[in-house]
């Protein structure tokens, strides 16, 4: 399902209560659907975190995958980083970046705190038993060990709806579809200041 598909469903739910001159806009409903999805997913995640239920969260329905991204070396700091082509949602434990894996490989990189290098400098723990760690800083992901420009990574993320094209697959938990539609309709109605058609005949009341 795409954002456009979901927006059509929201308009279908709303349209019987609109006057003919309400000028329903698919583009504006698409934006409302995106905002609603981001808020519903974020609220659900933060509530789970506050109740210590993060381990029970099922994230797969929310994930977008960006394939074959290549790291770059920062010549000023000599650190390797990945410039993100999207904005992850702000979620507990930086879960906006769900997983990073090398292409055609089954192992994954491990998330570490941004203070990892200074905390474990000179310690055997810094080696992560031969694994690679990463941390999120703004719109970049930094790595604990050297990468190469030939390295290709798949990044699985819970991305902001703004960075998902209207006609691309739009990831959201199916059990939250109604919540998203209802919230989108509410935002749309408030934004457009839509009058209600009391006769429920899709025509403007005179």
| Per-residue pLDDT tens digits for 21-80 | 445 578 889 999 999 999 999 998 898 888 877 666 667 789 999 999 999 999 998 889
Tell me 194's DSSP state: P
Neighbour tally for 71: CB within 10 Å: 23
Q: Where are the alpha helices (DSSP H) in 15-142?
A: 26-50, 116-119
**In this predicted model, what pLDDT tens digit does every residue of 90-114 receive, in sequence order?**
998 888 999 999 987 778 898 887 6
**C-beta atoms surrounding 131 within 10 Å:** 12
DSSP class of 21:
G
Q: Collect all residues with Cβ–Cβ distance below 8 Å to 186 and sequence separation of at least 6.
A: none
Whether the per-residue pLDDT at 124 is higher than 60: the answer is no
Could you give the angle at the alpha carbon of 59 between the alpha carbons of 67 and 100, nearest 5°?
35
């Amino acid at each position: 399902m795409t954002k456009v598909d979901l927006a059509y469903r929201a308009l279908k739910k709303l349209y019987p209560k609109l006057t003919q001159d309400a000028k329903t806009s698919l583009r504006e409903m698409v934006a409302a659907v995106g905002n609603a999805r981001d808020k519903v997913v974020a609220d659900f995640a933060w509530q789970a975190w506050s109740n210590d239920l993060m381990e029970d969260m099922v994230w797969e329905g929310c994930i977008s995958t960006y394939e074959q991204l290549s790291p770059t070396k920062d010549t000023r700091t000599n650190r390797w980083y990945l410039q993100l082509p999207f904005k992850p949602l702000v979620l507990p434990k930086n879960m906006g970046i769900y997983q990073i894996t090398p292409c055609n490989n089954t192992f994954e990189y491990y998330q570490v705190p941004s203070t990892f290098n200074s905390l474990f400098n000179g310690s055997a723990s810094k080696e992560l038993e031969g694994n690679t760690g990463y941390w999120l800083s703004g719109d970049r992901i930094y790595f604990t060990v050297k990468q190469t420009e030939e390295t290709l990574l798949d990044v699985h993320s819970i991305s902001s709806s703004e960075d998902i094209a209207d006609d691309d697959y739009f990831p959201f938990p199916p059990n939250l579809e109604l919540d998203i539609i209802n919230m989108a309709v509410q935002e749309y109605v408030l934004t457009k200041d839509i009058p209600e058609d009391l006769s429920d005949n899709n025509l403007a009341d005179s």
